[in-house]
Structure 1
Amino acid sequence: MSETRWTLAWNERPVEEARNLNPAFCAELIARTVAEYHKARMAPLSMATAFLVLPLTLHKPARTALPGKANTTFATWIASNNPLLAELPGRVSRLRPISREALLFSIRYRMNTLNNGGLVPGSKPIKPSSRPATSTDDVNEARAVAALLGRWFGAQASESAILKGFGVAP
């Protein structure tokens, strides 16, 4: 098997990639989404939906285009953002190894736990206000959008509608 960028040790990856795509940070983003989703629905977030979190929060154009409030009508937003959404399935696929690693990290460190085939906050969940002493605006924006996604997804009729809307239905 030939090595790919995802099989390189973290200290061998480009510095920016290692900072932005490290399992701890990516797990934090997913955990924020899971926590807010669970708060809104009192149900687990499906694993399939969890794979949308990183492509939406780490990609600045997608993050910027997302609604500012969780009560934004999903179908209207989807209809008005078709050009952006055309690229999403490819980003989901390219970030799948990173998402998988982040999910394993979040479960290993009890940020999330598996329950009924999906994710719920674990015994050591992310606190909404927790942030490192130093951070960038970009990172803080990604954290805020991850939480917003949890609330927005939690307000939708079904997760299958979310996946279909984003063009990544399994």
Structure 2
Amino acid sequence: MNQKSEETVENSFGTRFKIALKNLGIGIVFVIAGLFLLWHNESKILDREIRIAQAESILSENQETTTDQKENETTEDSNLSKATLFNWVLRIAGWVILFLGLATLFKPLVVLVEKIPLLGNFVGRGITVFALLSSLSLSLILVSAVWMVARPVYGAVLLLLGIVPLLILYRSGKRARLKQALKQT
């Protein structure tokens, strides 16, 4: 009976590992889809912002504001708020897709070490945190690259915000290596 349970555990490990390896392609597709969604959405937003700014500058030079224009501005403001909400939904969706893709890419590593009692749980959570912070960083850096074209200050702020999660990852890894070196001495 003990041998049968060991075979079942071994078989389930092999099955889980094969599934994790097969899902690597899905992870890559998710990463590419998340990056594309973020890039495409931000490019469209930037294009719209540039066109609106150009139209406003032309209109302000040619005409005075009338009551009809004020009514049109209130309608445009409500449409703009709906578009802004939709853009934020697309940004968050792109980030979530990117996070899921990165988490899926590292799933084979989690399956490999989950047999080790304490290390398996630790590695699983560590990879989740790594995927979360790196997807956040990638998203912010990608969005900042798009916005550097039209609004360099806004793009620079986003770039700095994108570098912060990378610094957190780097410092946490450096701290772990320092603790390990202290234990060895």
Query: Shorter-normalised TM-score: what interval?
Result: under 0.3
Q: Which has the higher contact order (CA 8 A, sep 6+)?
A: 1
What TM-score, normalized by structure 1, do the two folds share?
A: 0.26
Query: Which one has a larger percent helix, Structure 1 or Structure 2?
Result: 2
Query: Which one has a larger percent strand, Structure 1 or Structure 2?
Result: 1
> Larger Rg: 1 or 2?
2
